[in-house]
Amino acid sequence: MSRTVYVNGAFIAEEDAQISVFDRGFLFADGVYEVCSVLKGKLLETEGHVARLHRSLNELDIPAPCSDEELLAAMEKLVADNDIDEGLVYLQVTRGAADRDFAYPKDPKPTLVMFTQAKKLLNDPVADKGITVITLPDLRWARRDIKTVGLLYPCMAKMEAKSKGAQDAWLLDDDGFVTEGTSNNAYIVTQDNKIVTRHLSNSILHGITRRSVLALAEEEGMVVEQRPFTPEEAYNAKEAFFTSASAFAMPVIKINDAVIGDGTPGEITQKLRAKYIELSLSI
């Protein structure tokens, strides 16, 4: 069935949607994006996603394509028009179309594109089982705090993981510490129950789910340490997991050849996942 998508103010059938071949998002990956989950027809964490969108746009001097009110109203309309109960809204803002030139155009007219994807988020069998990851060098650019559409290396890393029979890759900086997953923030739980995840910097995306899950962990009286960790520390951890808007908190049960804990989703991970879902459904 054809979806209704959004392009620069218009709601149109996906097969009729068009973007210029001169769009800088297409030519230079000169654009940023956000992914907002939908549960029971309601968008989650919109405030955090809109704030991060502005941060990404500001870092790249791309003007906002519309007001926040217009953006949120359009997102809600897309969810309703496409009858999304569980899934996500993807939104992308580029610097727009201009003659190809590395220098930014003087008076950019940003492109805003949005679409929905239906996806089962609540009863995800993958979350019951946990996933396996491999580690790979982090060969992305150094401004991973900006959520750009330049995602080719994460795609390559994901394919490398798949070719090795794993589901995702955790990426390693030059000193051998985990930065994050291809599209998620990475965590371990130490044998003495401390939740460890890399501190915020330009090395990782400042995850919206990360912020909420860490707040929930602290509310639950769990100890959180924001610092880098190595794969070796992870091999000896009690639990491992990752967070992202569409995966919530997702157990990791194997890293390279090391089985984490007893090879099943950990207690703390499951608790955080349940709390995050409970909170999301209650708002």
List, by residue number, the catalytic residues.
Answer: 147
Asked if 35 is part of the footprint of ligand PMP (rule: CB under 6 A), the reply reads yes
The amino acid present at 217, given as its one-letter code, is A
Choice from 205, 217, 253, 260 touching ligand PMP (CB under 6 A): 205
| Rounded Cα distance, 179 and 161, in Å | 16
The amino acid present at 20, given as its one-letter code, is S
**Residue whose CB is less far from ligand PMP, 214 or 245:** 245
CA dist 263 → 27, 138, 240, 283 (Å): 44, 26, 10, 33
CB of 153 to ligand PMP, least distance (A): 10
Asked if 116 is part of the footprint of ligand PMP (rule: CB under 6 A), the reply reads no
Structure tokens at 51: 């704030």
Choice from 183, 197, 270, 280 touching ligand PMP (CB under 6 A): 183
Beta bridge partners of 248: 244
Asked if 244 is part of the footprint of ligand PMP (rule: CB under 6 A), the reply reads yes
Asked if 135 is part of the footprint of ligand PMP (rule: CB under 6 A), the reply reads no
Closest C-alpha among 101, 104, 117 to residue 61 = 104
Asked if 87 is part of the footprint of ligand PMP (rule: CB under 6 A), the reply reads no
| Rounded Cα distance, 16 and 131, in Å | 38
Stretch that binds ligand PMP, among 2-10, 23-31, 105-113, 206-214 (CB under 6 A): 206-214
Structure tokens at 15: 């097969």
Choice from 184, 203, 269, 270 touching ligand PMP (CB under 6 A): 184
Where do contacts with ligand PMP occur on this chain (CB under 6 A)? Answer: 35, 180, 183-185, 205, 207-210, 243-245
